[in-house]
Amino acid sequence: MSEARSRELYARAAKSIPGGVNSPVRAMRSIGRDPIFLQRGEGAEILDVDGNRYVDYVCSWGPLIHGHAHPRVLAAISQAAARGTSFGAPTEGEIELAEEIADRIGSVEMVRTTSSGTEASMTAIRLARAATGRTRIVKFAGAYHGHVDGLLAEAGSGVATGAGGSARPSSPGVSAAAAAETTIVPWNDLRALSAAVEADPPAAIIAEPLPANMGLVAPREGMIEALRQIADRSGALLVLDEVISGFRVARGGAQELLSVRADLTVMGKVMGGGLPAGALGGPARLMEMLAPAGEVYQAGTLSGNPLAVAAGLASLRMLDEAAYARLAGITERLASLLAQAAASAGARERVQVASVPGLLTVFFSESPVQSFADAAACDLAAYGAWCRGLLARGVYPPPSQFEAWFPSLAHTDDQLQRTAQAAAEAFEELR
């Protein structure tokens, strides 16, 4: 397996791009190797610049729920592009996208589209503070809500991957004042949550309802219901960050799957169909506080971009109940194949395979992972070695223990079985 061209590009990239990449996890440092430069994608497979082919389980970190270069998504993008790439004025597609989202998520009446999930969480925080007149934000350790200053404290995803996840604030350059306005609570710890909320009633409790940025760590029984009650009792807004779970785990996202209503919903990834997009949604009474309907400022030169809107709409329109049932089946099959692969290599005791429809994580842990502390205690070196073994066998996993696998509707059973074979061999190699 040649890597000559990827090496060459990485050396060149490192001279003009910090660390050679435009988002940290892509560098693959936490699995102890250099990044792989990609050339193209087709369905569930990607080709790198050296001609190596992989079954892809990153799928752009979630947006590509239909796989790479889906013909309908491409057609929607090229038709939109032919009409003009950006206007800085409203277009009909933006209304269709807002209507489609509101139709799917019961708690959402109105939608403001942004260019990223980060912007949407930033706006959610500003709006929650304006609506409540409070400042404090409560977030969960290991949750990631984009690279917003006040939300980087003990964040998951690339922050955890790079810094070990223990620093607070977890990036230099975040002011002590911004970090001090955020209270961090361990996920799945209701007592800690109640205590934090009582001590200083916050503007918002922000949560990933199915946290997937410390690996996938589902809520314990009763956790989500309690989250809603605790927010209501204290007058805080419940902001559910569905950037990953939205439009992936069910037609109406985690709110449908877990029967919970958010006050504000943060969205991104799948809704942009592989182009830059995010959104904030909620009831009119809150959303109309945003400018120009209200006074809370929020804007974006490329917000509601016609290409992103077209890609998002094309993706969402193919996601009916049958598609979600199929994705759930693909995920379940992959989870069971990976567990069998571990068993066949005598590694079943060493790993936990966590999954919900559309998301999965293989934790190198001897006991179930229920918090960021549990995730951080995983055998990260073994995970790294296993991932290197997968890559050498044509399977591209998320290159960090603190990220989820993103199976797509394009993954075929043959690809899943090849994945299982590679996984078994890579487990063997760890012995």
State which of residues 52, 116, 331, 401 lies at the interface with ligand PLP (CB under 6 A): 116
Provide the mask over 216-245, with x wherever binding to ligand PLP is found by CB under 6 A and - wherever it is not: -------------------------x-xx-
State which of residues 268, 282, 358, 407 lies at the interface with ligand PLP (CB under 6 A): 268
3-state per-residue secondary structure call for 60-78: HHCCCCCCECCHHHHHHHH
Token output for 431:
């012995």
Do you find a cis peptide bond into 71, omega within 30 degrees of 0? no
E strand or H helix that includes residue 315: helix 306-317
Position 144 contacts ligand PLP (CB under 6 A): yes
Known active-site residue 269? yes
Position 118 contacts ligand PLP (CB under 6 A): yes
> Which DSSP symbol is given to 224?
H
Q: At its nearest, how many Å lie between ligand PLP and the CB of residue 426?
A: 26
Q: At its nearest, how many Å lie between ligand PLP and the CB of residue 94?
A: 18
The residue among 49 and 210 lying less far from ligand PLP, judged by its C-beta, is: 210
The residue among 169 and 209 lying less far from ligand PLP, judged by its C-beta, is: 209
Q: At its nearest, how many Å lie between ligand PLP and the CB of residue 404?
A: 9
Q: Pick the catalytic residue from 241, 263, 324, 396.
A: 241
State which of residues 24, 35, 67, 146 lies at the interface with ligand PLP (CB under 6 A): 146
Q: Which stretch binds ligand PLP (CB under 6 A): 11-19, 139-147, 324-332, 422-430?
A: 139-147
Entry field: residues in the chain:
431
Helix axes 92-104, 306-317, angle to 10 degrees: 40
How remote is the C-alpha of 7 from its chain's centroid?
Answer: 28
Helix axes 413-430, 321-344, angle to 10 degrees: 30
Token output for 339:
């567990």
- What is the Cα–Cα distance from 400 to 319, expressed in whole angstroms? 28
Known active-site residue 144? yes
The count of C-alpha atoms lying within 13 angstroms of the C-alpha of 314, restricted to the half-sphere facing its C-beta, is: 24
Position 206 contacts ligand PLP (CB under 6 A): no
State which of residues 29, 70, 136, 145 lies at the interface with ligand PLP (CB under 6 A): 145
Residue 198: CB atoms within 10 Å:
11
**3-state SS class at 95:** helix
The residue among 215 and 389 lying less far from ligand PLP, judged by its C-beta, is: 215
Q: At its nearest, how many Å lie between ligand PLP and the CB of residue 357?
A: 17
E strand or H helix that includes residue 363: strand 359-363
- What is the Cα–Cα distance from 416 to 418, expressed in whole angstroms? 5
The residue among 254 and 345 lying less far from ligand PLP, judged by its C-beta, is: 254
Q: Which stretch binds ligand PLP (CB under 6 A): 46-54, 86-94, 142-150, 384-392?
A: 142-150
Q: Which stretch binds ligand PLP (CB under 6 A): 113-121, 253-261, 311-319, 385-393?
A: 113-121
Dmax (CA) for the chain in angstroms is 62
Token output for 8:
């060459």
The residue among 35 and 146 lying less far from ligand PLP, judged by its C-beta, is: 146
Q: Pick the catalytic residue from 269, 324, 383, 396.
A: 269
Residue 320: CB atoms within 10 Å:
11
Position 213 contacts ligand PLP (CB under 6 A): yes
The residue type found at 161 is T
Residue ranges binding ligand PLP (CB under 6 A): 116-118, 121, 144-146, 208, 213, 241, 243-244, 268, 278
Residues with catalytic roles: 144, 241, 269
